[in-house]
Amino acid sequence: KVLMEKIAEDNNLIHDHMKNREIEVSAMGRKIDGLLKLKNVADRVGSTLREDEILRTVADETFNIFGEDSRVLFFTVKGSGGLSLSITLKGPSRRKFESKKGGIFDSWAMKNTKSLLVKDIKEDFRFSVKGREQEDDAVSLMVKPLIMEGRVLGVIRVDSSREATFTPHELRMLDIIGDLAAVAMENARLYQQTEDLAIRDSLTGLFVHRYFLERLDEEVKRALRSGNTFALLMIDIDNFKKFNDENGHMAGDAILQKTGAILRGKASAGDTVARYGGEEFAFLSLNMDRPGALELAERIRDDIEKAVVVLRREKYSVTVSIGVSMFPEDARLKDDIIMEADRALYRAKKKGKNRVCSK
């Protein structure tokens, strides 16, 4: 009898030990699965240097990890310092998130630069849910601020319509995803800044001559395929050397900056404006016919003539001459379209300056 009891006791111990082992193995499997998913996030965000692609990738992978019952909201911090909803991913049963600037939970995570886990938004004493958030279907949630060198770049939030959906383990996973996203976003922004330095003129902020030629070559090839037209405006400040000699290089730089700002303000989506060299500028305007191009050139000429730069209580102003050429009406090659615009510019100079000329 004693032996049988001892065998039964040993059997129970072995059974309990195996049960605990099964739990540990299952937990280990979930951890390994989570780590593989996190590795996939790291691999994908590390493969691009475009911020929009990083946001979409992180949102997609987060949604895949936490399932269709969840809703993923990705906010970015805009220039004003506030949140702006960039991406929403949700299952078919979830409501659309109405607050484009985020709610109290997202603002709390951003201001406190801490992750947040809420099991039930109605029971959490830290928050008083009102307005649109009260009508929303989110019950439990977790929020991770994306922080880089003390700056908040954005906020990623995962919520559920059921209470106590998320655990501290899942919040740790979101923390890792958020840290990966913050590093990738910062790298993308630094890359963009470096690229801008390489292709933009430091004084005017316009594109440099080399980049303009690349864009013009691309647009010629695209227009030949599609049959579209575009205009090239060559713009030169009249008597700029004399202006510099009489008023100094500071006044000359101020005029160049003002001219660049006016040209940027006239550009539509897809247009390219460049400092072509010295006091000469190039303006590539897409999907433009000749009457429209001449009207644009005249508006530019008039705005620059009326613009006044104040420096050391002195007022300065200049005029410009503009030559306009059209693709494919005037030329069908990159070098020829530039040559035709230069010829038109030369005619404008010869006729007395401060005017627009075309073929």
Active site residue ranges? 279
Structure tokens at 26: 């299952």
What is the amino acid identity at position 287?
A: N
- How big is the chain, counted in residues? 359
- Give 145's strand partners: 155
Q: Which helix (H) or strand (E) holds 156?
A: strand 151-160
Of 86, 54, 43, the C-alpha closest to 187 is 54
Of 320, 324, 315, the C-alpha closest to 302 is 320
| Rounded (10°) CA dihedral 23, 67, 84, 121 | -60
Q: Are 89 and 131 in contact (CB under 8 A)?
A: no
In angstroms, rounded to a whole number, what is the distance separating the alpha carbons of residues 157 and 75?
8
